[in-house]
Structure 1
């Protein structure tokens, strides 16, 4: 597999994962996502979960369908989104909130290291790195 094909596949997988996560925000995992909303967010918790779900669906769809001309910009927006939601992962760890099988401090702490990987994935698969 050449580099271009690998990046396209990585972009499609990331996009599909984001669409799935976004749909889960709006439906079956809504309660679990509430565990990640930091207390300092000025919006109602449920609204925050819904808005982030819509954003994930839009970003995921964009990653899967984007043309070459706009690919880097969408990758940068996706990376910025992953950066923006990182405080939610920190909040889940600090406040010891269990969700998504992250039911121990060790698991919640380990999850923190996955966010930089998502940021890199978004950038690398869109030719930003």
Structure 2
């Protein structure tokens, strides 16, 4: 991928930095004060300690967040990777809904269900703000 030929608008850049900042904040929560809440989203079928999954995913989110903010040269690859990450963690959101687990103020089935519809928004946001959406459209 030759990201040097891909340019983003000022709006895309602002939204890329906002999303990167959200990822850094989420990572801080994973690693500190929100660990219990993030553990509520780890599906029971994952054969690892829920705390370990939360710590590892927090480190991954920290990497994505910092990369979204600072690693402009590889933003298309980062956008695609972050979109894939959002898809991979979606089963945790589904598990939270299916198990009726309260976390992050999602204390009803309706709230947990509505939240499921926001994951595609994050996928599109990651792809659009990094211009990966245009890259993929032109590639295929």
Would you call these one fold, judging by a TM-score over 0.5?
yes
1:45 matches 2:44? no
Per-residue CA distance 1:17-48 (angstroms, 9 max, x = gap): 00000010010100000100001111110000
1:60 matches 2:56? no
Task: For residue 67 of structure 1, report the CA deviation from its aligned partner.
Answer: 2.0
Task: For residue 106 of structure 1, report the CA deviation from its aligned partner.
Answer: 0.1
Larger Rg: 2
The residue correspondences of 1:82-121 to structure 2 (distance < 5 A) are 82-121=86-125
Per-residue CA distance 1:54-102 (angstroms, 9 max, x = gap): 000000000000223x110000010011001000000000000000000
**Residue segments in structure 1 that go unaligned for 5+ positions in a row:** none
| TM-score between the two structures when normalised by the length of structure 2 | 0.88
Determine the structure 1 residue equivalent to 2:85. Answer: 81
Determine the structure 2 residue equivalent to 1:21. Answer: 26
| TM-score between the two structures when normalised by the length of structure 1 | 0.96
Determine the structure 2 residue equivalent to 1:10. Answer: 15
Off by >4 Å, runs of 4+ in structure 1: none
